[in-house]
Structures are given as C-alpha cells and as structure tokens.
Structure 1
Amino acid sequence: MADAEDKELRARKERERDELYSLDISGVEWHSAPGTEEHEERVEIAYLPAGAVAMRSSLDPGTVLRYTEAEWTAFVLGARDGEFDLEPTTRDGAAGKE
C-alpha cells in the first residue's frame, strides 16, 4: 500500500514539474532585492501562476530554475530559520576548517 502511494506521489510531482517547465515565461517580470543595481550580480525571481516561482542569476539569465508553491514555501521558511546561513570561513577560504 505504501509503495503504491509513493509511486502515486512521485508521478504527481513529475507531472507538476513538467507542467511548471512547460509554462512560457518569456514575458514575466523579474524582481531582485531592493537596493541592487542593474549591473550588479544578483538573484532574480519571477512569480508564476499557482504560487510557483522562477529563479535565475543576473549573470546567467538563460538558466532558470522553477519551484512549485510548496517548494518555494519550504525554501523561504528554511532561509528564515537559518537553514542556509553560511559557515564562517578562514582566511584561506576553506569553510569551517582550521
């Protein structure tokens, strides 16, 4: 029973991903953090239908990642909780090593 539910969940997630990536986003409005300039390196996001979000780097606007509403919510909540905070680095650039 659990195996069938797992397969169903995977199939649903795959359909959601396929639908998300089939959206034409050529006309979306990209947003970046306040205070950043057009020439600065930055992360940009665009809001898509059904609460989904697209994300790209200003240095590589052709590579776009897309997230469902649930994925984006999980990411934002994790970021707010410090899940993605950077570890202090040493002077030689090795993170967390002394």
Structure 2
Amino acid sequence: MEEAEKEIDLDDVPPEFLDPIMADLMVDPVMLPSSKVVVDRRNIERHLMSEPSDPFNRAPLTRDQLVPQPELKKAIEAFTEAKRKAAASSKASSS
C-alpha cells in the first residue's frame, strides 16, 4: 500500500482520484488514449508488462502512448496534503 493511502481514509477520496483498475489512490495519473480512461501509471505499466493493450477496450497500447494528467496529479497532491494536515492537527489536539 502506498504511504499516501496509509494516512488517508479511502472512503473520503473523490472517485476521480481512484484508479479504476486497483481502486487505490492514484499518484501519477495518466490517460489511456483509446479508451480515455484515467489510471495510475504504476498500475497500467504493470498491466503492460504482460499484455500490451488497453485493459478497457483491448486496443494496442505502449508506455509511450500514456498521456500524463498534470492538473489531476496536482489536485490529488493538494487533497493528500490537506488530509495529512488535518490528520496531524487532530492527532495534536487529541494528545
């Protein structure tokens, strides 16, 4: 499990921040060009090691075709940082 996930309750995560393949919090979101689905880079790269296709429509796919989603990545980073600060604040006030 990623460090970010250990600190964040996934029930609070907006659905667009969750990877549709593994249902985990995305760290490096990328769009698949043929299906237009956004997934986490580590999960799709793991899939591509065994099958060079888009898992949503089976169209041929290679790593160099993945389209980075920098705005979504920034939004996820801001969300996780806010959750960390809130968790730290609640731990400090309960101590």
The TM-score with structure 1 as length reference comes to: 0.25
Rg (Cα) greater in structure: 1
The structure whose residues are more often helix, as a share, is 2
Query: Quick one: higher RCO (CA 8 Å, sep 6+), 1 or 2?
Result: 2
TM-score (norm 2): 0.26
